[in-house]
Amino acid sequence: MASMEHPIFSLSTKPDTRVREYEHNGIKIAIKPSVDGLATVHDRDVLIYCISQLMTALNEGKEVSQVVRFRAFDMLVATNRNTAGSGYAQLKAALERLAGTRISTNIVTGGKEIFRTFGLIESAEVVRETRDGRMQEVEIKLSDWVFNAIRSKEVLTLHRDYFRLRKPLERRIYELARKHCGAQREWRISLALLQKKCGSNSTPREFRRLVMNIVREDREHDHMPDYAIAYDEQEDMVTFSNRQGVKIVLPPAVAPQLDPDVYETARMLAPGFDVHYLEREWRSWLPETPRNPEAAFLGFCRKWIQNRKNTG
């Protein structure tokens, strides 16, 4: 979630060796590249794949560790990448950039505020390689920061078609919509703030042109997953509207069984309603696994009643 909120990954398709600094609402981030350049939005696919493996294990009640091993071919297929020789070469380059990119931040994950410098991954190793040079198995050790967020389930699901977006800016814009719009009907943001959150180095005029191209293509082809995108020139605002047709590539949010005492409180909040029906509605709506399921369910009940008062 933190990497969706803040511009940690580069939008450039060429080696980006700039040191980037970002500050918003008290969060400060400095992203420092290696000689190979900053990790890119497309390199993030490797992290997404590792996170999906660990989240599946956690939801099944299994123990997980920072070390993740996977078949390179499986990762390339799952993230809609080329499985020819160039795909493996690109994966190796991505691993090098992920390991080389260093971050200094005070982002809070798992209830802890971390003030230190760390990498996105600590190390990567090709466990087995075929005779023609293609890697077969890859072993990655995730950084403490990433692993802490996974264990705390600070993770959002993504639409399968996210991996079909080829333009880095399209991916970044989708990530922001997924984080901020979520299950809401719509989310609005000024173009200037959108550029800041995207981490774009373009001029405001060029960034506006790029966004308007995405808006036009989405209007013609509905290619952006989950959210339609529109731009209001007069207000210089971008609006994301929920399409209400989510296909999930990462494990869906799963809340544990609720404490029996919470149902009495729910009946007081929603008199006349079947609280077990409300629970089913809440579980089907969940955009992410809540840290405090009881509090999240009661909050849903309050909003349920408030929405009916507003419409009735």
The pLDDT tens digits of the residues spanning 234-280 come to 999 999 999 875 444 444 556 677 777 788 888 888 877 888 888 88
Domain boundary among 122, 155, 188: 155
CA 121/CA 196 separation, integer angstroms: 25
> Is 30 among the domain residues?
yes
Its domain, for residue 242, covers: 159-249
On whether the CB atoms of residues 114 and 152 are closer than 8 A, the answer is no
Q: Judge if 89 and 184 occupy the same domain.
A: no
On whether both 227 and 166 belong to a single domain, the answer is yes
Q: Are residues 13 and 103 in the same domain?
A: yes
Over the stretch 20-71, which tens digit does the pLDDT of each residue have?
888 776 677 889 999 999 999 999 999 999 998 998 888 888 889 999 999 9
Residue 255 in any domain: the answer is no
Query: Which of 19, 79, 48 lies closest to 142 in space, CA to CA?
Result: 48
Q: Tell me, what amino acid is at 119?
A: G
The per-residue pLDDT for 109 is: 59
CA–CA separation, 6 and 26 (whole Å): 12
- Do residue 21 and residue 146 come from a single domain? yes
Closest CA to 197 of 1, 61, 7, 3: 7
Query: Residues 148, 3: one domain?
Result: yes
- In this predicted structure, which of 57-66, 112-121, 303-312 has the lowest mean pLDDT? 303-312
Q: How many domains does the chain have?
A: 3
Is the CB of residue 109 less than 8 Å from the CB of residue 35? Answer: no
The mean per-residue pLDDT over the stretch 193-212 comes to 94
Boundary-marking domain end, from 155, 174, 201: 155
Note the helical H segments in the chain: 2-5, 44-59, 72-78, 85-100, 144-151, 168-180, 191-198, 204-221, 262-269, 275-285, 293-311
